[in-house]
Chains A and B, each alone.
Chain A
Amino acid sequence: MSLELLIATVPLMLIFATLFAFTTWLERKALARIQNRIGPNKVGIPCTRIGLFGLGQPAADGIKMIFKENIVPRGADRLFHLLAPILALIPSMLVLCFLPLDFPWLNENSVKAFLLDGAVIFFFAITGLNTLAVFMAGWASRNKYSLLGGMRAVAQMVSYEIPLVLSAVIVVMMVGSLNAAEIAKAQTGGDWFVFSPWGFAAFVIFFIAALAETNRSPFDLPEAESEIIAGYFTEYSGFKFALFFLAEYIAMFAISGLAVTLFLGGGDGPGLAVLPWLSVIWFLAKIFALIAVMIWLRGTLPRLRVDQLMGFAWKFMLPLSILNIFVAGFAWHAEQLDNTFITVITWVISLAILYSAASGLNQLNRGKVRPREYKYAE
């Protein structure tokens, strides 16, 4: 039993750790190209001058971080200072197990360990621990600005969890099961949830809330605040900082993985009948597509102010996701009738409702801001 467990878990962790390194490299190069410059390109094969497009950069960064001095502020709580990055990393890694990846070396018996019936609920429960880790980091630094930054981060993460969960509820409602593998199976054949109006709205809400959960731009208030507070991990140096970094990226993978499972069809794609393990490739490709969009948004958008951020979550996303649940329920009942005409009508009505709700809420919250005209004097 333990050997099978090892065969199941260790390759998963290794694969995702390598993907993390690759993603940091990809992010730096992609952001650089957006900004009209090349990213890292000198660190390639060690001890030579061959820069292999900078692929050695993540390794060099990792080695540097390991060798840095571990500074803990005087009077800080040493235990929590050490525990916080570990507590940030463990939930993200734990959640990776439930993604429906059919690796070819796993047979039915070992994979059964991971087919939890309540996978989606387990996912949301465990990612709630990230919030705790952030607050622990802010508290243990004994720095009032870190504490304030940590509290803001907690407020952000807590308020964006609700739209996240509510948009996942729609998929669960349509499929009728919380099992990740079943949800992925229900979308085979190109019948993904994102291709329906309520699914599309739910996907967009999920994606925006996922950006906020992992503290990515434009919601990166906790980490890149250039105003007064440098974030909840100011007082971390060396390997603990590397662990926070790793935790953030693995969380990105995990949430993208869940989004792919719920909305984009899991491992679905052409060529599955011929090579069954191609589903892993498709799964990872879709995750990378979502991560590429996250990097793209990071390069384009400025940051939201904290009250605007909270207003966006509570006054726009929450009403919209609740309305979406009603629309999806109505659509599910309509689909039970199995009549094409009624299905088309349902689609049109739901599109109309969702669009008008979104515009209305937008107008209500942010109706006064628009581009302006100016006068000229001769």
Chain B
Amino acid sequence: MSTAAAPNYELIQQDGLETNLLEVSMGPHHPSTHGVFRMDVKLDGETVVDLRPVFGYLHRNHEKLAENMSYLSSMPFTDRLDYFNSMANNWAYALAAEKLIDVEVPERAEYLRVIMAELTRLVNHISLVGFFINDLGALGTPLLYAFREREKILDLFEQASGARMMCNYFRFGGLRNDVPEGWLDRAGEVVDRFPAFLDEYEQLLCENEIILSRTQGVGNLPRELAISAGVTGPMLRASGMAYDLRKVDQYGIYDRFKFRVPYTDGDTGDCYDRFMIRMLEMRESIEILKQALAGIPEGEIMGNAPRVFKPKPAESYGRIEGPKGELGFYLIADGSPKPYRYRVRPPSLINLTVLRDMCLGGKIADAVIILGSIDIVLGEVDR
């Protein structure tokens, strides 16, 4: 949480009128808070004076559960962390576990991993943009357009792994099964039609005066505050810092693809920047997908992982550039089939710590929009 002190007053004197602050709990049951999340706001008329986020309503003991199960059995639970990007969560966990044992992932599996991760990024960003505009009050039209495209990608996931959202597709050393025949062509079709949809979406939204005036200047996040709070992902790039783990760590085979990383020109970012950065990132994901689909080789999809996963005592941290930020898994192994400690670095939670600083001084209507632009998923915040 930020350490800036809120103006500490209960009664406000203004021209001889005394008014109290109004305390509102935008409670867990709310149509606009993206899950069971509560914000206790103190209002002075329309202006937000103090804001206290309360979460934990979706805590499911994920980290403790993993200490009682084998490494493979907690892979389906990682799907359910950030339930929009199940493939990305799987990959981060597989990366962390593969660092504990010595296994090489085959080429085809690496290419397929990149394809699945970028498709997940498309799914996540399109859903976020849809929900963001829905919070602005557009009665669901952009949201339903976004979901129409998301359905196509979810159909692809279902054909590859058997389930639309909880894919459980990655294994230590490769993937569970190869994609069926014709999947690569179908994926190519979806990817080819996506830029036309993005153009239509931009035409609907990006010059709309109402959206411009409601999102520009709202929720300013200076770059220094973002860096010191540990914010990562599109939020950090919207605040003017060009930092993307795909370029820094170059995990997997990302060094073979040519793509750009959009970021803001300046050193603060507002809601409009975050929204536009995500739209631009989708276009870059399509570039990566085209290159990956063109260059994927034939081959095996599973390396030589041991049948029983019993790593020697060691610790590892595996991180990826998830669609929401840096998603990391920290594992401590102690020689038994179950991990000694299993910790998730949730990007949504760490991005949420700057909510208060962004909302203070704005209006109550803006608090909802700012929360929407941070892109949280409560499954990840509460684990």
Within 8 A of B (CB), among A361-375: 366, 368-375
- Bound together, the chains give a CA A378 to CA B258 distance in angstroms of 8
- Bound together, the chains give a CA A303 to CA B209 distance in angstroms of 11
B31 touches A226 (CB 8 A): yes
Instruction: Give the segment of B8-16, B129-137, B162-170, B316-324 that binds chain A.
Output: B129-137
Instruction: Give the segment of B55-63, B69-77, B211-219 that binds chain A.
Output: B211-219
User: Which secondary structure characterizes the binding site on chain A?
Assistant: loop
Q: Does A31 make an interface contact (CB < 8 A)?
A: yes
Which of B211, B217, B277, B366 is in CB contact (< 8 Å) with A374?
A: B277
Contacts of B296 in A (CB 8 A): none
B46 touches A299 (CB 8 A): no
Contacts of A228 in B (CB 8 A): 24, 26, 364
Within 8 A of A (CB), among B247-273: 247, 260-265, 272-273
Which of A31, A36, A37, A366 is in CB contact (< 8 Å) with B213?
A: A366
What's the nearest-Cβ distance from chain A to residue B353, in Å? 23
A304 touches B210 (CB 8 A): yes
Which of A224, A308, A370, A375 is in CB contact (< 8 Å) with B214?
A: A308
Of A300, A307, A308, A373, chain B has the most CB atoms within 10 Å of the CB of A300
A301 touches B208 (CB 8 A): yes
Which of A226, A299, A366 is in CB contact (< 8 Å) with B137?
A: A226
A369 touches B212 (CB 8 A): yes
Within 8 A of B (CB), among A210-228: 217-218, 220, 224, 226-228
A303 touches B136 (CB 8 A): yes
- Bound together, the chains give a CA A201 to CA B370 distance in angstroms of 36
Q: Does A376 make an interface contact (CB < 8 A)?
A: yes
Of A217, A304, A370, chain B has the most CB atoms within 10 Å of the CB of A304
- Contact digits for B271-314, partner A, Cβ 8 Å, 1 yes 0 no: 01100110010000000000000000000000000000000000
Q: How large is the interface on A (under 10, 10 to 19, 20 to 34, 35 or more residues)?
A: 35 or more
Which of B32, B261, B365 is in CB contact (< 8 Å) with A377?
A: B261
What's the nearest-Cβ distance from chain A to residue B93, in Å? 28
B208 touches A305 (CB 8 A): no
Q: Does B38 make an interface contact (CB < 8 A)?
A: no
Q: A377-B242, A377-B260 are in contact. Are A372 and B140 (CB under 8 A)?
A: no
Q: Which residue of B lies closest to A298 (CB)?
A: B139
Q: Which residue of A lies closest to B148 (CB)?
A: A36
B206 touches A374 (CB 8 A): no
A218 touches B137 (CB 8 A): yes
Within 8 A of A (CB), among B310-367: 363-367
Q: Which residue of A lies closest to B24 (CB)?
A: A228
In the complex, given contacts A220-B137, A224-B137, what are 17 additional A-B residue pairs having Cβ atoms less than 8 angstroms apart? A34-B141, A36-B144, A227-B365, A228-B364, A299-B139, A302-B136, A302-B211, A304-B210, A305-B363, A305-B366, A307-B46, A366-B213, A369-B209, A369-B212, A377-B244, A377-B260, A378-B260
What are 19 inter-chain pairs, A to B, with CB distance below 8 A?
A35-B140, A35-B141, A36-B144, A36-B145, A227-B364, A227-B368, A301-B138, A301-B208, A305-B365, A306-B46, A369-B209, A371-B212, A372-B276, A373-B265, A374-B264, A374-B265, A375-B242, A376-B260, A376-B262
- B residues at A contact (CB < 8 Å): 24, 26, 31-32, 46, 133, 135-141, 144-145, 148, 204, 206-214, 216-217, 242, 244, 247, 260-265, 272-273, 276-277, 280, 363-368
The 7 closest A-B pairs by CB, nearest first: A303-B137, A302-B136, A377-B242, A302-B138, A376-B260, A35-B144, A369-B212
